Amino acid sequence: MTKSSSVAMKGIRLVYVLLDGIGDLPHPLLNDLTPLEAAYTPNLDALARNGAMGKVISVGKGIAPQSDIAVFNMLGYSFKDGSYVGRGVIESIGCNIDFRDGDLALRGNFATIDDKLKIVDRRAGRVISSEEAKAVCKTLRDNIRFSDKDASIALEPTIAHRVVIRLRHAKMKLSDKITNTDPAYDKIDGMGIAKDTTGEMFVQKSAAEEDSDQARTAAKMLNEFTTQVVQLLRDHPVNRARIAAGKKPMNCIIARDSGNRYPHVDPIDKKHGISVGCIVDMPVEIGISKVLGMKMFQAGDVNDYEEKAKVAAKSLKSVNAVYVHIKGPDEFGHDGDARGKKKNIEDIDKRFFGTLMNELKGSSTAIVVSGDHSTPCVKKGHSDDPVPLLVSGSMVKQDGSARFTENYAKRGNLGLLMGADVLSTAIKMVAG
Ligand SMILES: O=C(O)[C@H](O)COP(=O)(O)O
Protein backbone atom coordinates (compact mmCIF):
# COMPACT_ATOMS: atom_id res chain seq x y z
CA MET A 1 0.00 0.00 0.00
CA THR A 2 1.51 3.40 -1.02
CA LYS A 3 1.93 6.16 1.59
CA SER A 4 -0.74 8.27 -0.07
CA SER A 5 -3.22 5.42 -0.12
CA SER A 6 -2.50 4.58 3.51
CA VAL A 7 -3.15 8.23 4.40
CA ALA A 8 -6.38 8.07 2.39
CA MET A 9 -7.26 4.87 4.23
CA LYS A 10 -6.84 6.67 7.55
CA GLY A 11 -9.30 9.35 6.37
CA ILE A 12 -11.91 6.73 5.63
CA ARG A 13 -15.33 7.02 7.32
CA LEU A 14 -17.57 4.07 6.47
CA VAL A 15 -20.78 2.61 7.93
CA TYR A 16 -21.24 -1.01 6.79
CA VAL A 17 -24.79 -2.25 7.37
CA LEU A 18 -25.72 -5.92 6.98
CA LEU A 19 -29.48 -6.49 6.95
CA ASP A 20 -29.93 -10.10 8.08
CA GLY A 21 -31.84 -12.21 5.58
CA ILE A 22 -32.73 -9.17 3.45
CA GLY A 23 -32.74 -10.86 0.06
CA ASP A 24 -36.09 -12.22 -1.04
CA LEU A 25 -38.25 -13.32 -3.99
CA PRO A 26 -41.52 -11.96 -5.46
CA HIS A 27 -44.42 -12.75 -3.12
CA PRO A 28 -48.08 -13.20 -4.07
CA LEU A 29 -49.25 -11.20 -1.04
CA LEU A 30 -47.09 -8.28 -2.21
CA ASN A 31 -48.44 -8.20 -5.80
CA ASP A 32 -45.44 -10.33 -6.83
CA LEU A 33 -42.99 -7.77 -5.53
CA THR A 34 -40.21 -8.60 -3.10
CA PRO A 35 -40.50 -7.09 0.40
CA LEU A 36 -37.75 -4.60 -0.53
CA GLU A 37 -39.60 -3.59 -3.71
CA ALA A 38 -42.95 -3.34 -1.91
CA ALA A 39 -41.61 -1.37 1.06
CA TYR A 40 -41.66 2.45 1.22
CA THR A 41 -37.98 3.27 1.74
CA PRO A 42 -37.30 6.96 0.99
CA ASN A 43 -33.98 6.98 2.86
CA LEU A 44 -32.56 3.88 1.20
CA ASP A 45 -33.80 5.26 -2.14
CA ALA A 46 -31.87 8.49 -1.54
CA LEU A 47 -28.74 6.50 -0.69
CA ALA A 48 -29.18 4.42 -3.87
CA ARG A 49 -29.47 7.57 -6.01
CA ASN A 50 -26.20 8.73 -4.50
CA GLY A 51 -24.26 5.55 -5.10
CA ALA A 52 -23.65 2.38 -7.09
CA MET A 53 -25.14 -1.10 -6.73
CA GLY A 54 -24.31 -4.71 -7.40
CA LYS A 55 -25.33 -8.15 -6.24
CA VAL A 56 -23.44 -10.46 -3.87
CA ILE A 57 -23.13 -14.20 -3.49
CA SER A 58 -22.04 -14.15 0.15
CA VAL A 59 -20.42 -17.61 0.44
CA GLY A 60 -20.61 -19.57 -2.80
CA LYS A 61 -22.82 -20.33 -5.80
CA GLY A 62 -25.58 -22.73 -4.82
CA ILE A 63 -24.82 -22.33 -1.09
CA ALA A 64 -27.67 -21.21 1.23
CA PRO A 65 -25.43 -20.11 4.13
CA GLN A 66 -26.18 -19.46 7.77
CA SER A 67 -25.39 -16.03 9.18
CA ASP A 68 -22.10 -17.08 10.79
CA ILE A 69 -20.15 -18.15 7.69
CA ALA A 70 -21.99 -15.53 5.60
CA VAL A 71 -20.97 -12.64 7.87
CA PHE A 72 -17.38 -13.88 8.07
CA ASN A 73 -17.31 -13.79 4.25
CA MET A 74 -18.92 -10.35 4.12
CA LEU A 75 -16.12 -9.16 6.42
CA GLY A 76 -13.46 -10.69 4.13
CA TYR A 77 -12.89 -14.16 5.67
CA SER A 78 -13.89 -17.01 3.34
CA PHE A 79 -12.33 -20.06 5.12
CA LYS A 80 -12.04 -21.54 1.61
CA ASP A 81 -9.48 -24.02 2.98
CA GLY A 82 -12.21 -25.85 4.91
CA SER A 83 -10.82 -24.52 8.17
CA TYR A 84 -14.10 -23.11 9.43
CA VAL A 85 -14.74 -24.11 13.05
CA GLY A 86 -18.58 -24.17 13.02
CA ARG A 87 -21.33 -21.94 14.38
CA GLY A 88 -21.40 -23.75 17.74
CA VAL A 89 -17.88 -22.52 18.57
CA ILE A 90 -18.63 -18.95 17.43
CA GLU A 91 -21.78 -18.77 19.56
CA SER A 92 -19.92 -20.29 22.54
CA ILE A 93 -17.35 -17.49 22.21
CA GLY A 94 -20.22 -15.01 21.88
CA CYS A 95 -21.84 -16.10 25.16
CA ASN A 96 -18.59 -16.65 27.08
CA ILE A 97 -19.28 -20.29 27.84
CA ASP A 98 -16.21 -22.17 29.16
CA PHE A 99 -14.83 -23.72 25.93
CA ARG A 100 -11.39 -25.17 25.12
CA ASP A 101 -9.94 -27.07 22.14
CA GLY A 102 -11.19 -30.65 22.30
CA ASP A 103 -14.60 -29.69 23.70
CA LEU A 104 -17.58 -29.86 21.38
CA ALA A 105 -19.71 -26.71 21.06
CA LEU A 106 -23.08 -26.74 19.29
CA ARG A 107 -25.86 -24.25 18.57
CA GLY A 108 -29.18 -25.44 19.97
CA ASN A 109 -32.83 -24.45 19.59
CA PHE A 110 -35.53 -24.90 22.16
CA ALA A 111 -38.13 -26.62 19.97
CA THR A 112 -41.62 -28.07 20.29
CA ILE A 113 -42.04 -31.77 19.42
CA ASP A 114 -44.82 -34.33 19.63
CA ASP A 115 -44.56 -37.77 21.27
CA LYS A 116 -43.15 -39.21 18.02
CA LEU A 117 -40.26 -36.69 17.95
CA LYS A 118 -41.93 -34.86 15.07
CA ILE A 119 -40.92 -31.21 15.17
CA VAL A 120 -44.02 -29.05 15.62
CA ASP A 121 -42.00 -25.81 15.80
CA ARG A 122 -38.20 -25.48 15.52
CA ARG A 123 -38.30 -22.43 17.79
CA ALA A 124 -41.11 -23.31 20.23
CA GLY A 125 -43.01 -20.29 18.91
CA ARG A 126 -40.05 -17.89 19.37
CA VAL A 127 -41.62 -16.21 22.43
CA ILE A 128 -39.37 -17.56 25.21
CA SER A 129 -38.46 -15.35 28.18
CA SER A 130 -34.94 -15.43 29.62
CA GLU A 131 -36.50 -16.56 32.92
CA GLU A 132 -38.08 -19.59 31.20
CA ALA A 133 -34.84 -20.41 29.37
CA LYS A 134 -32.74 -20.09 32.54
CA ALA A 135 -35.14 -22.25 34.61
CA VAL A 136 -35.18 -24.99 31.97
CA CYS A 137 -31.37 -24.93 31.55
CA LYS A 138 -30.90 -25.18 35.34
CA THR A 139 -33.07 -28.30 35.46
CA LEU A 140 -31.08 -29.83 32.61
CA ARG A 141 -27.65 -28.95 34.02
CA ASP A 142 -28.65 -30.33 37.46
CA ASN A 143 -30.09 -33.60 36.17
CA ILE A 144 -28.43 -34.71 32.93
CA ARG A 145 -26.07 -37.65 33.50
CA PHE A 146 -24.03 -39.46 30.82
CA SER A 147 -23.36 -43.22 30.77
CA ASP A 148 -19.66 -42.29 30.45
CA LYS A 149 -18.48 -40.94 33.82
CA ASP A 150 -15.82 -38.76 32.06
CA ALA A 151 -18.48 -36.88 30.04
CA SER A 152 -19.91 -33.52 31.12
CA ILE A 153 -22.03 -30.69 29.76
CA ALA A 154 -22.42 -26.91 29.95
CA LEU A 155 -25.58 -25.21 28.69
CA GLU A 156 -26.10 -21.45 28.15
CA PRO A 157 -29.38 -19.88 26.97
CA THR A 158 -28.77 -16.81 24.79
CA ILE A 159 -31.66 -15.02 23.01
CA ALA A 160 -35.24 -16.38 22.70
CA HIS A 161 -35.12 -19.96 21.35
CA ARG A 162 -31.32 -20.02 21.07
CA VAL A 163 -29.02 -21.97 23.38
CA VAL A 164 -25.35 -23.02 23.33
CA ILE A 165 -24.38 -26.60 24.27
CA ARG A 166 -20.83 -27.52 25.30
CA LEU A 167 -19.91 -31.20 25.62
CA ARG A 168 -16.60 -32.18 27.28
CA HIS A 169 -14.80 -35.50 27.85
CA ALA A 170 -12.11 -35.56 30.55
CA LYS A 171 -10.01 -38.18 28.75
CA MET A 172 -10.38 -37.40 25.01
CA LYS A 173 -10.69 -34.59 22.47
CA LEU A 174 -14.18 -34.95 21.05
CA SER A 175 -14.54 -35.01 17.25
CA ASP A 176 -16.79 -32.56 15.39
CA LYS A 177 -17.34 -35.11 12.64
CA ILE A 178 -20.90 -35.85 13.76
CA THR A 179 -24.28 -35.10 12.19
CA ASN A 180 -26.85 -32.59 13.50
CA THR A 181 -29.98 -33.54 15.43
CA ASP A 182 -31.60 -30.41 13.88
CA PRO A 183 -32.94 -31.47 10.44
CA ALA A 184 -33.06 -27.91 9.05
CA TYR A 185 -29.34 -27.55 8.44
CA ASP A 186 -26.52 -29.67 7.03
CA LYS A 187 -22.86 -29.16 7.92
CA ILE A 188 -20.49 -29.12 4.94
CA ASP A 189 -16.78 -28.30 5.56
CA GLY A 190 -17.81 -26.94 8.93
CA MET A 191 -20.33 -24.55 7.32
CA GLY A 192 -24.01 -24.72 8.28
CA ILE A 193 -26.06 -24.97 5.08
CA ALA A 194 -29.83 -24.49 5.13
CA LYS A 195 -32.07 -27.35 3.91
CA ASP A 196 -35.68 -27.26 2.76
CA THR A 197 -37.79 -26.82 5.91
CA THR A 198 -41.25 -26.79 4.33
CA GLY A 199 -42.04 -30.50 4.85
CA GLU A 200 -42.42 -32.69 7.98
CA MET A 201 -39.30 -32.78 10.15
CA PHE A 202 -38.23 -35.15 12.92
CA VAL A 203 -35.47 -34.88 15.54
CA GLN A 204 -32.46 -36.71 14.04
CA LYS A 205 -30.15 -39.13 15.81
CA SER A 206 -26.59 -37.87 15.59
CA ALA A 207 -24.14 -40.22 13.85
CA ALA A 208 -20.35 -40.32 13.61
CA GLU A 209 -19.09 -39.13 10.22
CA GLU A 210 -15.67 -40.72 10.70
CA ASP A 211 -14.47 -44.06 12.06
CA SER A 212 -13.06 -42.85 15.37
CA ASP A 213 -13.78 -43.27 19.09
CA GLN A 214 -13.78 -39.47 19.35
CA ALA A 215 -16.66 -39.15 16.84
CA ARG A 216 -18.60 -42.15 18.16
CA THR A 217 -18.30 -40.82 21.72
CA ALA A 218 -19.40 -37.31 20.65
CA ALA A 219 -22.47 -38.62 18.78
CA LYS A 220 -23.40 -40.88 21.71
CA MET A 221 -23.12 -37.97 24.16
CA LEU A 222 -25.31 -35.76 21.96
CA ASN A 223 -27.95 -38.49 21.63
CA GLU A 224 -27.95 -39.18 25.39
CA PHE A 225 -28.31 -35.42 25.93
CA THR A 226 -31.29 -35.18 23.55
CA THR A 227 -33.09 -38.17 25.08
CA GLN A 228 -32.71 -36.84 28.63
CA VAL A 229 -33.83 -33.33 27.60
CA VAL A 230 -37.11 -34.77 26.25
CA GLN A 231 -37.62 -36.81 29.46
CA LEU A 232 -36.81 -33.93 31.80
CA LEU A 233 -38.91 -31.30 29.98
CA ARG A 234 -41.95 -33.48 29.24
CA ASP A 235 -43.75 -32.29 32.37
CA HIS A 236 -41.54 -29.36 33.44
CA PRO A 237 -43.31 -26.57 35.38
CA VAL A 238 -42.24 -24.04 32.73
CA ASN A 239 -43.96 -26.13 30.07
CA ARG A 240 -47.05 -26.75 32.18
CA ALA A 241 -47.34 -22.96 32.53
CA ARG A 242 -46.67 -22.38 28.82
CA ILE A 243 -49.35 -24.85 27.77
CA ALA A 244 -51.83 -23.36 30.28
CA ALA A 245 -51.12 -19.95 28.74
CA GLY A 246 -51.72 -21.29 25.24
CA LYS A 247 -48.01 -21.22 24.30
CA LYS A 248 -46.05 -24.04 22.68
CA PRO A 249 -43.94 -26.08 25.14
CA MET A 250 -40.13 -25.87 24.85
CA ASN A 251 -39.84 -29.64 25.25
CA CYS A 252 -36.77 -30.50 23.19
CA ILE A 253 -33.38 -29.07 22.19
CA ILE A 254 -32.29 -29.71 18.59
CA ALA A 255 -28.59 -29.12 17.90
CA ARG A 256 -26.37 -28.25 14.94
CA ASP A 257 -23.01 -27.00 13.71
CA SER A 258 -20.66 -28.70 16.14
CA GLY A 259 -17.08 -27.51 16.42
CA ASN A 260 -14.11 -28.56 18.57
CA ARG A 261 -11.46 -25.88 18.21
CA TYR A 262 -10.91 -22.13 18.51
CA PRO A 263 -10.55 -20.18 15.25
CA HIS A 264 -7.25 -18.35 14.68
CA VAL A 265 -7.44 -15.65 11.99
CA ASP A 266 -5.80 -12.23 11.37
CA PRO A 267 -7.58 -9.41 13.23
CA ILE A 268 -9.82 -7.37 10.93
CA ASP A 269 -7.82 -4.15 11.37
CA LYS A 270 -4.68 -5.94 10.11
CA LYS A 271 -6.56 -7.55 7.23
CA HIS A 272 -8.10 -4.34 5.89
CA GLY A 273 -5.61 -1.71 7.03
CA ILE A 274 -8.26 0.36 8.82
CA SER A 275 -9.86 0.23 12.27
CA VAL A 276 -13.24 -1.55 12.28
CA GLY A 277 -15.79 -1.49 15.10
CA CYS A 278 -19.23 -3.08 15.32
CA ILE A 279 -22.75 -2.83 16.66
CA VAL A 280 -24.15 -6.37 17.05
CA ASP A 281 -26.72 -8.12 19.28
CA MET A 282 -26.95 -11.83 18.61
CA PRO A 283 -24.49 -14.35 20.13
CA VAL A 284 -23.21 -15.38 16.70
CA GLU A 285 -22.28 -11.86 15.60
CA ILE A 286 -20.84 -11.09 19.05
CA GLY A 287 -18.67 -14.20 18.67
CA ILE A 288 -17.55 -13.14 15.19
CA SER A 289 -16.64 -9.67 16.48
CA LYS A 290 -14.55 -11.15 19.31
CA VAL A 291 -12.75 -13.55 16.93
CA LEU A 292 -11.90 -10.65 14.58
CA GLY A 293 -10.85 -8.29 17.39
CA MET A 294 -13.49 -5.66 16.67
CA LYS A 295 -14.27 -2.89 19.12
CA MET A 296 -17.92 -3.45 20.12
CA PHE A 297 -20.19 -0.45 20.69
CA GLN A 298 -23.30 -0.95 22.82
CA ALA A 299 -26.48 0.45 21.23
CA GLY A 300 -29.64 -0.70 23.00
CA ASP A 301 -31.49 -3.88 22.15
CA VAL A 302 -32.10 -5.72 18.86
CA ASN A 303 -34.86 -3.37 17.65
CA ASP A 304 -33.52 -0.07 19.00
CA TYR A 305 -32.76 1.25 15.52
CA GLU A 306 -32.44 4.95 16.39
CA GLU A 307 -29.86 4.20 19.09
CA LYS A 308 -27.91 1.99 16.67
CA ALA A 309 -27.77 4.83 14.15
CA LYS A 310 -26.67 7.42 16.71
CA VAL A 311 -23.96 5.15 18.18
CA ALA A 312 -22.78 4.22 14.66
CA ALA A 313 -22.27 7.88 13.74
CA LYS A 314 -20.52 8.63 17.03
CA SER A 315 -18.29 5.54 16.76
CA LEU A 316 -16.60 7.06 13.69
CA LYS A 317 -14.76 9.36 16.07
CA SER A 318 -12.75 6.31 17.17
CA VAL A 319 -12.83 3.86 14.23
CA ASN A 320 -12.61 4.25 10.44
CA ALA A 321 -15.48 1.83 9.79
CA VAL A 322 -18.36 0.46 11.84
CA TYR A 323 -20.20 -2.77 10.93
CA VAL A 324 -23.86 -2.72 12.03
CA HIS A 325 -25.82 -5.98 12.02
CA ILE A 326 -29.61 -5.57 11.87
CA LYS A 327 -31.40 -8.84 12.63
CA GLY A 328 -35.02 -7.94 11.83
CA PRO A 329 -35.82 -9.08 8.26
CA ASP A 330 -34.48 -12.64 8.71
CA GLU A 331 -37.03 -13.73 11.30
CA PHE A 332 -39.96 -12.58 9.15
CA GLY A 333 -38.45 -14.54 6.27
CA HIS A 334 -38.20 -17.69 8.42
CA ASP A 335 -41.80 -17.21 9.53
CA GLY A 336 -43.00 -16.74 5.93
CA ASP A 337 -44.42 -13.33 6.89
CA ALA A 338 -43.97 -11.19 3.74
CA ARG A 339 -46.12 -8.31 4.98
CA GLY A 340 -44.23 -8.33 8.29
CA LYS A 341 -40.87 -8.29 6.46
CA LYS A 342 -42.03 -5.36 4.30
CA LYS A 343 -43.12 -3.45 7.43
CA ASN A 344 -39.84 -4.24 9.22
CA ILE A 345 -37.87 -2.90 6.24
CA GLU A 346 -39.93 0.31 6.35
CA ASP A 347 -39.24 0.55 10.08
CA ILE A 348 -35.49 0.12 9.55
CA ASP A 349 -35.54 2.67 6.72
CA LYS A 350 -37.27 5.32 8.83
CA ARG A 351 -35.79 4.67 12.25
CA PHE A 352 -32.26 3.50 11.38
CA PHE A 353 -31.33 4.99 8.00
CA GLY A 354 -33.34 8.19 8.58
CA THR A 355 -31.55 8.78 11.89
CA LEU A 356 -28.14 7.77 10.46
CA MET A 357 -28.39 10.14 7.49
CA ASN A 358 -29.39 12.94 9.83
CA GLU A 359 -26.47 12.22 12.17
CA LEU A 360 -23.99 12.08 9.26
CA LYS A 361 -25.29 15.18 7.45
CA GLY A 362 -22.39 17.27 6.13
CA SER A 363 -19.79 14.55 6.74
CA SER A 364 -18.13 12.68 3.86
CA THR A 365 -19.09 9.26 5.16
CA ALA A 366 -19.73 6.26 2.92
CA ILE A 367 -22.72 4.08 3.74
CA VAL A 368 -22.50 0.50 2.49
CA VAL A 369 -25.67 -1.60 2.70
CA SER A 370 -26.00 -5.29 1.98
CA GLY A 371 -27.05 -8.53 3.67
CA ASP A 372 -25.60 -11.85 4.85
CA HIS A 373 -27.97 -14.06 2.87
CA SER A 374 -31.46 -14.20 1.41
CA THR A 375 -34.33 -15.58 3.51
CA PRO A 376 -37.24 -15.74 1.04
CA CYS A 377 -40.63 -15.76 2.76
CA VAL A 378 -41.93 -18.35 0.27
CA LYS A 379 -39.13 -20.72 1.38
CA LYS A 380 -39.25 -19.93 5.14
CA GLY A 381 -35.49 -20.46 5.19
CA HIS A 382 -32.16 -19.27 3.81
CA SER A 383 -31.52 -19.53 0.07
CA ASP A 384 -28.58 -19.08 -2.32
CA ASP A 385 -30.25 -16.10 -3.99
CA PRO A 386 -27.80 -13.17 -4.24
CA VAL A 387 -28.23 -10.20 -1.89
CA PRO A 388 -28.22 -6.54 -3.04
CA LEU A 389 -25.19 -4.31 -2.39
CA LEU A 390 -25.13 -0.52 -2.30
CA VAL A 391 -22.06 1.69 -1.87
CA SER A 392 -23.27 5.25 -1.32
CA GLY A 393 -21.44 8.54 -0.78
CA SER A 394 -20.14 11.71 -2.44
CA MET A 395 -16.94 9.84 -3.38
CA VAL A 396 -18.85 7.15 -5.33
CA LYS A 397 -19.66 7.43 -9.05
CA GLN A 398 -23.45 7.16 -9.33
CA ASP A 399 -24.76 4.39 -11.61
CA GLY A 400 -28.40 5.47 -11.97
CA SER A 401 -29.73 3.15 -9.25
CA ALA A 402 -32.97 4.60 -7.85
CA ARG A 403 -33.85 2.07 -5.15
CA PHE A 404 -32.16 -0.50 -2.89
CA THR A 405 -33.82 -3.58 -4.36
CA GLU A 406 -32.83 -6.94 -5.85
CA ASN A 407 -33.71 -5.68 -9.33
CA TYR A 408 -31.56 -2.55 -9.21
CA ALA A 409 -28.78 -4.71 -7.78
CA LYS A 410 -28.90 -6.89 -10.91
CA ARG A 411 -28.37 -3.85 -13.14
CA GLY A 412 -25.86 -1.88 -11.05
CA ASN A 413 -22.32 -0.98 -12.16
CA LEU A 414 -20.70 -3.06 -9.39
CA GLY A 415 -21.88 -6.27 -11.08
CA LEU A 416 -21.56 -9.59 -9.22
CA LEU A 417 -19.23 -9.82 -6.21
CA MET A 418 -18.34 -12.68 -3.88
CA GLY A 419 -18.97 -11.85 -0.22
CA ALA A 420 -15.31 -12.05 0.74
CA ASP A 421 -14.48 -9.21 -1.72
CA VAL A 422 -17.22 -6.77 -0.65
CA LEU A 423 -15.56 -4.89 2.21
CA SER A 424 -12.17 -4.55 0.48
CA THR A 425 -13.92 -3.34 -2.71
CA ALA A 426 -15.94 -0.77 -0.77
CA ILE A 427 -12.83 0.47 1.06
CA LYS A 428 -10.97 0.91 -2.24
CA MET A 429 -13.96 2.78 -3.73
CA VAL A 430 -14.12 5.10 -0.74
CA ALA A 431 -10.36 5.62 -0.38
CA GLY A 432 -10.20 6.67 -4.02
O1 LIG B 1 -31.80 -16.55 14.07
C2 LIG B 1 -30.88 -17.38 14.10
O3 LIG B 1 -30.28 -17.77 15.12
C4 LIG B 1 -30.50 -17.97 12.79
O5 LIG B 1 -30.24 -16.95 11.86
C6 LIG B 1 -31.62 -18.84 12.27
O7 LIG B 1 -31.64 -19.93 13.13
P8 LIG B 1 -33.00 -20.76 13.31
O9 LIG B 1 -33.46 -21.16 11.94
O10 LIG B 1 -32.60 -21.96 14.14
O11 LIG B 1 -33.94 -19.82 14.02
CA of residue 82 to ligand 1 center, whole Å: 22
Percent of the chain with pLDDT over 90: 92
Residue 180 beta carbon below 6 angstroms from any ligand 1 atom: no
Strand 321-326 relative to strand 14-19: parallel, antiparallel, unpaired?
parallel
For residue 10, pLDDT beyond 80: no
What pLDDT score was predicted for residue 9?
A: 64
Residue 24 beta carbon below 6 angstroms from any ligand 1 atom: no
Among candidates 371, 379, 372, which has minimal Cα distance to 332? 379
What pLDDT score was predicted for residue 214?
A: 98
Residue 162 beta carbon below 6 angstroms from any ligand 1 atom: yes
* 237 alpha-carbon distance from chain centroid: 31
Average pLDDT of span 204-229: 98
- Give the chain's radius of gyration (CA, Å): 22
Residue 68 beta carbon below 6 angstroms from any ligand 1 atom: no
Among candidates 368, 138, 306, 158, which has minimal Cα distance to 233? 138
What pLDDT score was predicted for residue 81?
A: 85
Alpha carbons 36 and 26: distance in angstroms, whole number? 10
Which of 112, 334, 344, 374 gets mutated to test ligand 1 (max ligand atoms within 8 A of its CB)? 334
Residue 382 beta carbon below 6 angstroms from any ligand 1 atom: no
Burial class (CB in 10 A: 0-12, 13-18, 19+), 340: middle
Strand order from edge to edge, sheet including 276-279: 295-296, 276-279, 321-326, 14-19, 366-371, 387-392, 51-57, 415-418
Alpha carbons 16 and 174: distance in angstroms, whole number? 37
Residue 158 beta carbon below 6 angstroms from any ligand 1 atom: no
Which of 19, 22, 59, 66 gets mutated to test ligand 1 (max ligand atoms within 8 A of its CB)? 66
User: Tell me, what's the ipTM?
Assistant: 0.97
What pLDDT score was predicted for residue 221?
A: 98
Q: Which residues contact 81 (CB under 8 A, 6 or more apart)?
A: none
More confident residue, 16 or 193: 16
Average pLDDT of span 315-324: 97
CA of residue 363 to ligand 1 center, whole Å: 36
What pLDDT score was predicted for residue 3?
A: 53
Q: Over the stretch 70-117, which tens digit does the pLDDT of each residue have?
A: 999 999 999 988 899 999 999 999 999 999 999 999 999 999 999 999
CA of residue 168 to ligand 1 center, whole Å: 24
- Ligand 1, residue 197: give the atom nearest the CA: 9
CA of residue 107 to ligand 1 center, whole Å: 9
Instruction: For residue 221, report the phi and psi dihedrals to the nearest 5 degrees.
Output: -60, -45
**The whole model's pTM is what?**
0.95
Alpha carbons 175 and 178: distance in angstroms, whole number? 7
Contact of 284 with 94, CB cutoff 8 Å: yes
For residue 133, pLDDT beyond 60: yes
Characterise 163 by phi-psi region: left (phi > 0), alpha (psi -120 to 50), beta (else): beta
Q: Please name the CATH architecture into which domain 3-81+264-431 falls.
A: 3-Layer(aba) Sandwich (3.40)
What pLDDT score was predicted for residue 7?
A: 55
Helices H / strands E in the chain, number of each: 16, 15
Strand 119-121 relative to strand 104-113: parallel, antiparallel, unpaired?
antiparallel
Q: Over the stretch 395-432, which tens digit does the pLDDT of each residue have?
A: 999 999 999 999 999 999 999 999 999 999 999 999 87
For residue 152, pLDDT beyond 70: yes
CA of residue 381 to ligand 1 center, whole Å: 9
- Ligand 1, residue 256: give the atom nearest the CA: 10
SS3 321: strand
Whether the CA torsion 181, 420, 304, 275 is positive or negative: it is positive
Q: Over the stretch 20-52, which tens digit does the pLDDT of each residue have?
A: 999 999 999 999 999 999 999 999 999 999 999
Strand 104-113 relative to strand 162-169: parallel, antiparallel, unpaired?
antiparallel
Residue 285 beta carbon below 6 angstroms from any ligand 1 atom: no
- Ligand 1, residue 327: give the atom nearest the CA: 1
The ranges assigned to domains in the chain are 3-81+264-431, 88-259
Residue 330 beta carbon below 6 angstroms from any ligand 1 atom: yes
CA of residue 211 to ligand 1 center, whole Å: 30
Alpha carbons 161 and 72: distance in angstroms, whole number? 23
Contact of 320 with 14, CB cutoff 8 Å: yes
Residue 109 beta carbon below 6 angstroms from any ligand 1 atom: yes
What pLDDT score was predicted for residue 82?
A: 83
